[in-house]
Structure 1
Amino acid sequence: MIAPIRRMAGVAVVAGALLTTACSQTAQAPQPRTEFNIGWSIYAGWMPWPYAQQAGIVKKWGDKYGLKINIVQVNDYVESVNQFTAGKLDGVTVANMDALTIPAAGGKDTSAIIVGDYSNGNDGIVMKGAGDLASIKGQPVNLVELSVSHYLLARALDTVHLAPNDVKTVNTADADIVGAFASPDVKVAVAWNPQLTAIKGQPGAKQVFSSADIPGEILDLLCVDTATLKTNPKLGKALAGIWYETTALMTRQDEQGRQARAAMAKLAGATPEAFDRQLSTTHLYADPKAAVTATASPALVTTMTRVRDFSFSKGLFKGAATADAVGIAFPGGKTLGDPARVTLRFDESFMKMAAEGKL
């Protein structure tokens, strides 16, 4: 099974505490460079990166632009995002909520240059018994608090006209949630794969809501330090080239595609069958045109408004008086929040180059 190492914005307080000071700090402008480190952690939608390194695709595109790109595994997801925030990594694979609440809320100017996929069933709410979602009212809910599971719960409650205080959340580590749900005392759990699959397989379990009910809201991104990107635009071109060559290969329905996916599964510690099941609930943006369209869509602004309002309500913007304290920029000049404090940018330019064959 794929290791349970994904998405825990609850640790964002480490970065969020910097909000009131980081934006006022004046850092030296990055210098042009030829070597870069991109961090990743195990998750189905991010396995193209280590595979590309193994298959020589990273070297191919690095050589094209005179760069050396190191694809660095970090065993703990949150640690990878914290390392990026601290400047130890030039880029990182990260979910949209965590990109906002950790580096961006910490004052680090961050650019999302590849919208890689969205969870299309990889995250879900499971209940014991035959009740529907509305019957969740008044029940304890086990989940990783302040993570995308918490966000998914909030979105689910809204669909049945319930408020967050209509349930009581029980903070449960992702490593413990499968065992917790097996306890007779635990009736509801929110989890992501592979734990979600394990929970759904327990006797009496019924999934009552999933990320497939809010398509496009739990996004997985490749983010790069904005200043580094501006000084070294070839890095963005190389990374886009790597991503789209690799995803084109892995989505092929032939022997080459099968072998690529099997190699990714091995890198993730999964069987090919388990990996393919996780890909089936991951909407992969293998086509750069589709990724550009999604990034330029008004729906992304709506999604990020929900994400930032939820994050602010949970205190993840430490030191901020309003949700507008962290600015988010979108293609076409649209800005959410304070335009003078933009620290998260959805930059479609490199995806667009890929779509137009200009890499």
Structure 2
Amino acid sequence: MIVSIRSIAKAALMATAMPAVLLTAACSQAPSEAPKRTEFNIGWSIYAGWMPWPYAQQAGIVKKWADKYGLKINIVQVNDYVESVNQYTAGKLDGVTVANMDALTIPAAGGKDTSAIIVGDYSNGNDGILMKGGDLKAIKGQSVNLVELSVSHYLLARGLNSVGMQLRDVKTVNTGDADIVGAFASPDVKVAVAWNPQLNAMKAQPGAKLVFSSADIPGEILDLLCVDTATLKANPNLGKALAGIWYETTALMTRQDAEGKAARAAMAKLAGATPEAFDSQLSTTFLYSDAKAAVAATDAPALVTTMTRVRDFSFSKGLFKGASSADAVGMSFPGGKTLGDAQRVTLRFDDSFMKMAADGKL
């Protein structure tokens, strides 16, 4: 099994790991100036959709694209996911692999102007609600084991909404990701929400039934590559190199020939997984290996709808500390669209580098 930290998975630690205090310094729409540089650090943590980055470094793809633009790019592993996002927020990393919810609630809500330059994948079944007996409509009044304030909590809210219920209709029981499989094995636990690889292990337990998954809300649990906006503005070649690295690597890993299989096996090894386990997680991960598809997803109105749901959930759970409204953190999207405070935009979905890749202009 992959020894993984599933994107938003550790978000329950956010309240203590990195308080998202809204900073008045972030009020301007224009990012502060940053120096021109040639060396950059990009952080990553283990997750199926992010394994192309360390593989690209190992295979020489990072060096190839960095050399093209006269840069040095260090792909830096951080063993704890939230710690990687915290290091980025603190300025120790120039970019980081991060989920949409965490990009919003940690760096952006903390006042760090952040640009999502690659929409890499979305969970397409990697996260799910499991029940022992009955369907989702039978969940009312039950206790639900999950990692509170995480993507599991968000998924539960979306699942409940699909059958006309709200979070107040159930009782959540905060359960660590390391303990969730064992907890669900107990006869007393009837409902749980988890992500892979734990989800697959729990589905194999007697009587377990998947009643709702991220495949029911495609495109809502997104995994991104985010870069400091000021750094990107001063050094646009960094964005070009990162896009080149991503699309060359994902084109290779999605090939169904010996080279593609070898690339996926190498990624599995880097993740501490068997090739079979890695391929299983990839099967429930919609990977945007095609730049044109990634641009289309980033430009679609559905992304604004998704981020509205994510920010409303985050605000309702107190993840915008110090904010009186869900509009306190501004977001911008391609085409000049904004969500929230247009004078406090700190999360930007920037499709320009993906477009260069799609148009063959890198």
Q: With structure 1 as the length reference, what TM-score do the two structures score?
A: 0.97
Does residue 9 (structure 1) correspond to residue 11 (structure 2)? The answer is yes
* C-alpha contact (below 8 Å) 2:31/2:113 kept by paired residues: no
Answer yes or no: is the 8 Å Cα contact 1:289–1:352 preserved in 2.
yes
Gaps of 5+ in 2: none
**Runs of 5+ consecutive residues of structure 1 not aligned to the other structure:** none
Does 1:36 find its partner at 2:24?
no
Distance 1:20 1:207 in 2: 41
The total of aligned residue pairs comes to 358
The residue number in structure 2 matching 1:145 is: 148
The residue number in structure 2 matching 1:23 is 26
8 A Cα contact 1:156 1:209, kept in partner? yes
Q: Pick from 66, 72, 77: which aligns with 2:76?
A: 72
CA distance in 1, matches of 2:2, 2:87: 22
Q: Structure 2 residue aligned with 1:344, among 330, 343, 347?
A: 347
| Aligned counterpart, 1:110 | 114
Match 1:353 to one of 345, 349, 356: 356
Match of 1:324 among 307, 322, 327: 327
SS at match of 2:343: helix
Match of 1:123 in 2: 127
Q: Provide the residue aligned with 1:90 in structure 2.
A: 94
CA–CA distance in structure 1, aligned partners of residues 141 and 21 of structure 2? 36
Secondary structure at the counterpart of residue 256 of structure 2? coil
Distance 1:118 1:233 in 2: 26
Residue 235 of structure 2 is aligned to residue 232 of structure 1: yes
Cα distance in 1, alignment partners of residues 141 and 71 from structure 2: 56
- Alignment-derived partner of residue 246 in structure 1: 249
Separation in structure 1 between the aligned mates of residue 4 and residue 191 of structure 2, nearest angstrom: 19
For residues 42 and 23 of structure 2, what CA distance do their matches in structure 1 show? 27
Counterpart CA distance in 2 for 1:287 and 1:40 is: 21
2-structure distance, mates of 1:44, 1:117: 10
Q: Is the 8 A contact 1:178 1:195 kept in 2?
A: yes
Q: In the aligned structure 2, how far is the partner of 1:164 from the partner of 1:84?
A: 32
Letter matched to residue 42 of structure 2: I
Q: Could you tell me how far 1:183 is from its partner in structure 2?
A: 1.4
**Do the aligned residues in 2 keep the contact of 1:4 with 1:174 (CA within 8 Å)?**
no
Check conservation: 1:20, 1:320, Cα contact below 8 A: no
Aligned equivalents of 2:218 and 2:33: distance in 1?
Answer: 38
What's the secondary structure of 1:335's corresponding residue?
strand
Query: 2:32, 2:166 → 1: CA distance?
Result: 46
The DSSP-based 3-state class of the residue aligned with 1:319 is coil
Matched residue type, 1:2: I
Q: Which residue of 2 aligns with 1:214?
A: 217
* Contact map agreement 1:9 1:102 (CA 8 A) in 2: no
Partners of 1:216 and 1:28 in 2: CA distance? 31
Checking the alignment, whether the CA contact within 8 Å between 2:116 and 2:224 is kept in structure 1 is yes
Asked if the contact 1:325/1:337 (under 8 Å) is kept, the reply is yes
- SS of the residue corresponding to residue 189 of structure 1 reads strand
SS in structure 2 of the partner of residue 253 of structure 1: coil
* 1:187 Cα deviation after fit: 1.0
- 1:246 partner amino acid: T
Q: Is the 8 A contact 1:39 1:91 kept in 2?
A: yes
Residues 16 and 101, structure 1, Cα contact 8 Å, conserved in 2: no
TM-superposed CA distance for 1:24, in Å, is 6.2
Q: Distance in 1 between matches of 2:52 and 2:176?
A: 27
User: In the TM superposition, what are the counterparts of 1:145-294 in structure 2 within 5 Å?
Assistant: 145-294=148-297
SS in 1 for 2:168: helix
Contact 1:325 1:338 in 2 (8 A): yes
Offset, 1:203: 1.1
For residues 21 and 211 of structure 2, what CA distance do their matches in structure 1 show? 38
Name the CA shift for 1:20/1:234 in 2 (closer, same or farther; >3 Å): closer
Change in 2 beyond 3 A, CA 1:328/1:27: closer
Larger CA deviation: 95-104 vs 26-35: 26-35
Partner of 1:116: helix, strand, or coil? strand
Say which is worse superposed, 1-10 or 259-268, in terms of deviation. Answer: 1-10
Mapped to 1, the partners of 2:71 and 2:183 lie a distance apart of 47
